[in-house]
């Protein structure tokens, strides 16, 4: 059962402005990455459903988060169907993110009052997602659908839309300024955020620092 309401999710996405997006098959690495992001100030985290037995890793991570990072809102991403949505909700997902717009997923999430962010690539899809109950919609892949210019164009006729781009977001002032000037609700950020050392291993202290630096940039850019 979710520890945070769909309203909590939307508000925290807005307040922090960034959602780290991460997958690894090793639960111990996932725990360290989650903790590093938490220590850097992140309060929303998306684990992606991308590998075999990913739901088992997520279940263990959700239990870890509840104990070790109690203010972290942990959700699941890369989900494309209703049955997998149900599986992750049962495993403790506080929100569900998808690269596509699937109405069957909306029914499952709405029945349990779980936040749902479907992937959209047009204003028509965004409007359909909102009609189905999505508070925050994802645009994906962010750069390929038009980048910040797309968000700005959408916000003209649809100023009420809350948009989270994923794909093409980088932890730099220039990149983040373009997105937030366009009017995004928050941004999802993947590989460019997760710092590694010369040996190719995750640098957890470096990750904490990078998250803190990125959030500091975002706080200055938000209206």
Q: Which residue among 35, 130, 135, 138 is the active-site one?
A: 138
SS3 127: helix
- Residue pair 179/187 in contact by the 8 Å Cβ criterion: yes
Q: Which residue among 31, 35, 46, 135 is the active-site one?
A: 46
Strand order of the β-sheet with 136-139 is: 119-120, 136-139, 162-165
SS3 101: coil
Backbone angles phi, psi at 182, to 5 degrees: -75, -20
| Catalytic (active site) residue 125 | no
Write the CB contacts of 71 (distance below 8 Å, at least 6 apart in sequence). 38, 43
Write the CB contacts of 211 (distance below 8 Å, at least 6 apart in sequence). 18, 20, 36, 37, 39, 40, 41, 42, 193
| Catalytic (active site) residue 46 | yes
Across-strand partners of 45?
74
**Catalytic residue set:** 46, 138
């Amino acid at each position: 059962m979710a520890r945070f309401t769909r309203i909590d999710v939307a508000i925290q996405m807005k307040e922090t402005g960034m959602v780290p997006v991460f997958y690894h098959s090793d639960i111990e690495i996932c725990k360290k990455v989650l903790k590093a992001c938490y220590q850097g100030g992140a309060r929303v985290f998306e684990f992606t459903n991308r590998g075999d037995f990913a739901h088992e890793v997520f279940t263990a991570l959700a239990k870890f988060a509840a104990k070790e990072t109690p203010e972290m809102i942990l959700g699941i991403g890369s989900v494309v169907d209703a049955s997998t949505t149900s599986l992750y909700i049962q495993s403790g997902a506080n929100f569900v993110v998808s690269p596509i717009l699937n109405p069957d997923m909306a029914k499952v999430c709405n029945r349990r009052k779980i936040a749902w962010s479907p992937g959209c690539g047009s204003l028509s899809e965004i409007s359909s997602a909102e009609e189905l109950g999505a508070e925050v919609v994802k645009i994906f892949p962010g750069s390929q659908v038009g980048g910040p210019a797309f968000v700005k164009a959408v916000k003209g006729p649809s100023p009420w839309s809350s948009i989270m781009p994923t794909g093409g977001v980088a932890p730099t002032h220039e990149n983040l300024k373009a997105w937030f000037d366009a009017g995004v609700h928050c941004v999802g950020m993947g590989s460019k955020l997760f710092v590694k050392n010369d040996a190719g291993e995750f640098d957890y202290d470096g990750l904490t620092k990078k998250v803190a630096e990125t959030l500091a940039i975002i706080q200055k850019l938000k209206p």
